[in-house]
């Protein structure tokens, strides 16, 4: 996140404009008039830091150190995805961001937050953490919440469990607590035919994480590289595939979609064909001294790490990459305050970050996601979601998968 050094010749207005967190420091140290925006604009634009220190007989070096400490605190917390202060009437935003897009997205969000404060007259208190840290902290907080008012006003995350588990967001969804606040007239053309618009108007989808195959041709041993999910599930690949089991969002999306289309036997076949759990970064390193799977199912993002000339081949399944959607849940009662925040997350600017940094296709129709008509998607679908116990199915699929590992027919 870019920072600049405060100069003694900077005006008070410019300092506070660049670093709003310093305003309270000035107010508490002899400049109470800066509480008023009009006074800040009138006086602050004429008064330099040097002149202000002279007028109040303050030690400029000590005061500058105090300001820099506050700025550094804000910077560190912003990098961690946490806001540094709370104000009455502010909005609360929480969620899990896929690792590749976390830092650039938070950088954009902090700039948006400043503009939001100007136009809406309110701040945004936020906690946006990396997916690598897991979902546990958020699930634990939500599970303990009984009243809607104690939930974040807006939450963003990939995956199904958080939003559809009846012990988590599911119990509040059934009380019509959330609303799809998307203002997009249509979704990106790469999602044509998927019906991503929530039929019950509870949630929004801003993008997704595609699952593809990475094939090590040296490990095929005469077998043809799988081109479809049915190929991957065939007995031919018994004990030959790897899955990012610890990436719960993608793993659950794969299991649920396979279950929907092929039943519980598909989950048994997936477990039977499992060689081991391997982080995608391990697979793309292609080390010669490791026992490697012939095929790894992994997020599309990791294919950017595959170097030409290796034995690794990227395969986009002909029957569709399975999509793990990135969902938004927005409180219906905060519609006016949250609509601009939803607009930010589904904007072209954010979509470009998702595309370039994460290979996560955006729903914004203005973004070129770099996906051709020969790269279709599969996704679970709202009809299936609302007609099934998703949390129960995740549990059943996980147990079946675990029990089937190593089982050869």
CATH of the domain at 128: 3.40.190.10
Highest mean pLDDT among 31-35, 353-357, 402-406: 353-357
Predicted local distance difference test score (pLDDT) of residue 2:
47
Residue 296 phi/psi, 5° resolution? -120, 130
Per-residue pLDDT of 359-387, as tens digits, reads 999 999 999 999 999 999 999 999 999 99
Q: Which domain holds residue 123?
A: 91-208+324-374
* Residue 199 DSSP symbol: T
- Domain total in the chain: 3
CA distances from 97 to 127, 128, 308 (A): 10, 7, 29
CA dihedral angle for residue 126, residue 122, residue 155, residue 143, rounded to 10 degrees:
80
Asked whether residue 315 is domain-assigned, the answer is yes
Using DSSP bridges, classify how beta strands 91-97 and 154-158 pair: parallel, antiparallel or unpaired.
parallel
**Contacting residues for 147 by C-beta, under 8 A, at least 6 apart:** none
Token output for 239: 């004990």
Residues 333 and 263 in one domain: no
Residues 152-156: what's their mean pLDDT?
Answer: 93
Question: In terms of domains, do 185 and 245 share one?
Answer: no
Asked whether residue 52 falls in the same domain as residue 123, the answer is no
Mean pLDDT value across the chain: 86
**Domain co-membership, 353 together with 266:** no
Instruction: Report pLDDT for 303.
Output: 81
The most confident of 111-115, 172-176, 353-357, by mean pLDDT: 353-357
CA distance 247 to 257: 16
Residues 190 and 282 in one domain: no
Q: Is residue 84 part of a domain?
A: no
């Amino acid at each position: 996140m870019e920072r600049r050094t405060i100069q003694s010749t900077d005006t008070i207005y410019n300092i506070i404009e660049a670093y709003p967190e310093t305003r309270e420091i000035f107010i508490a140290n002899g400049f109470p008039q800066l509480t008023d925006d009009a006074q800040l604009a009138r006086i602050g634009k004429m008064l330099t830091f040097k002149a202000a220190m002279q007028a109040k007989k303050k030690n400029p070096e000590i005061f500058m150190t105090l300001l820099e400490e506050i700025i550094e605190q804000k910077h560190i917390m912003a990098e961690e995805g946490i806001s540094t202060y709370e104000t009455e009437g502010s909005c609360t935003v929480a969620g899990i961001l896929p690792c590749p897009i976390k830092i650039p997205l938070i950088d954009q969000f902090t700039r948006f937050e400043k503009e939001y404060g100007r136009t809406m007259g309110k701040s945004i208190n936020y906690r946006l953490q990396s997916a690598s840290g897991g979902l546990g902290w958020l699930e634990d907080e939500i599970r303990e919440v009984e009243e809607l008012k104690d939930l974040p006003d807006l939450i963003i995350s990939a995956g199904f469990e958080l939003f559809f588990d009846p012990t988590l967001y599911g119990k509040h969804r059934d009380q019509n607590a959330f609303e799809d606040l998307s203002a997009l007239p249509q979704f990106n053309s790469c999602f044509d035919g998927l019906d991503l618009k929530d039929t019950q108007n509870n949630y929004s989808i801003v993008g997704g994480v595609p699952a593809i195959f990475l094939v090590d041709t040296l490990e095929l041993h005469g077998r043809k590289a799988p081109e479809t999910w049915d190929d991957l599930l065939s007995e031919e690949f018994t004990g030959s595939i790897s899955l990012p089991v610890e990436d719960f969002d993608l793993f659950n999306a794969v299991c649920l979609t396979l279950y929907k289309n092929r039943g519980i036997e598909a989950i048994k076949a997936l477990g039977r064909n499992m060689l081991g759990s391997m982080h995608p970064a391990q697979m793309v390193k292609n080390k010669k001294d490791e026992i490697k799977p012939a095929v790894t199912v992994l997020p599309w993002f990791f294919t950017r790490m595959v170097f030409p000339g290796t034995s690794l081949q990227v395969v986009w399944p002909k029957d569709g990459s399975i999509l793990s959607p990135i969902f938004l849940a927005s409180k219906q009662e905060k519609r006016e305050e949250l609509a601009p925040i939803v607009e930010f997350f589904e904007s072209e600017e954010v979509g470009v970050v998702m595309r370039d940094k994460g290979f996560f296709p955006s729903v914004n129709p203005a973004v070129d996601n770099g996906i051709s008509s020969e790269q279709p998607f599969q996704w679970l679908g709202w009809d299936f979601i609302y007609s099934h116990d998703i949390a129960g199915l995740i549990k059943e699929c996980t147990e079946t998968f675990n029990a089937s590992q190593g089982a050869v027919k």
